[in-house]
Amino acid sequence: MATETTDVAGVCVDAGGSALGMPQLCADWMPNQIFWLVITLIAVYFVMSRVALPRISAVLAERSGTITNDIAAAEELKNKAAQAEAAYDQALLDARAEANKIVAEAKAEIQAELDVELEKADAQIAAKTAESEAAIAEIREGSVKSVTEVAKATAKELVAAMGGTADAKTITAAVTARMKG
């Protein structure tokens, strides 16, 4: 068998079949390279448009939907938080109002009890004052009698010490006149 050899020598290849320079830049091979470039670009276009781009679009749409849903959920949670804060503030105001009401009621109750106790104390003081005044009146009456008797005895002793005699009637009249003023 004999092998056939073809002469491959040309503008871009030497006699040994080695490329002269860069084969991509050989003008004789340009139409063939352009053809395969177009075929490759068309194949890449169909793969991208039928497989990769729909998947990328689906992922982008899913992300967009997720972001939109997350933003809506965040807005809803923000509204709920604002409502909860408003409810908390209202509950706090209600609690303060209730506390103020309870304090006012307690003050009124304490004041009423204090008034009752003050009235009792005033009544007791008035009773003690009346008793004391009665006791003082008795003491005054007793002291007036005692002073009168002491004055009579002293006057009798003075008159006797001076060398005179006085009867009880005269001494009583003198002491009574002097006691009246």
User: How does pLDDT run across 69-123, given as a tens digit for each residue?
Assistant: 999 999 999 999 999 999 999 999 999 999 999 999 999 999 999 999 999 999 9
- Give the total number of structural domains in the chain: 1
Top pLDDT among 62 and 142 is at 62
Residue pair 12/20 in contact (Cβ under 8 Å)? The answer is yes
Please answer whether residues 159 and 165 qualify as being in contact, where contact means their C-beta atoms are separated by less than 8 angstroms: yes
At 10 the pLDDT is 67
Residue 152 domain-assigned? no
In a domain, 76, yes or no: yes
Residue 87 included in any domain: yes
Is the pLDDT assigned to residue 173 strictly greater than 70? yes
Asked if the model's pLDDT at residue 180 lies above 70, the reply is yes
At residue 1 the predicted structure's pLDDT band, cuts being 50, 70 and 90, is very low
Mean pLDDT calculated for residue range 146-175: 81
Q: What is the mean pLDDT of the chain?
A: 86
Q: Is 154 contained in some domain?
A: no
- Position 173 in a domain: no
Q: Confirm whether 12 is domain-assigned.
A: no
Phi/psi at 55 (5° precision): -65, -45
Q: Which domain holds residue 120?
A: 28-141
Residue 181 confidence class, pLDDT cut points 50, 70, 90: low
pLDDT digits (tens, 9 = 90+) for 29-43: 788 889 999 999 999
**Considering the domain boundaries, does residue 171 fall inside one?**
no
* Ramachandran angles phi, psi of 166, nearest 5°: -135, 140
Q: Within a domain: residue 48?
A: yes
pLDDT at site 3:
52
* Average pLDDT estimate for 43-69: 93
Q: 101: number of CA atoms within 13 Å, CB side?
A: 6
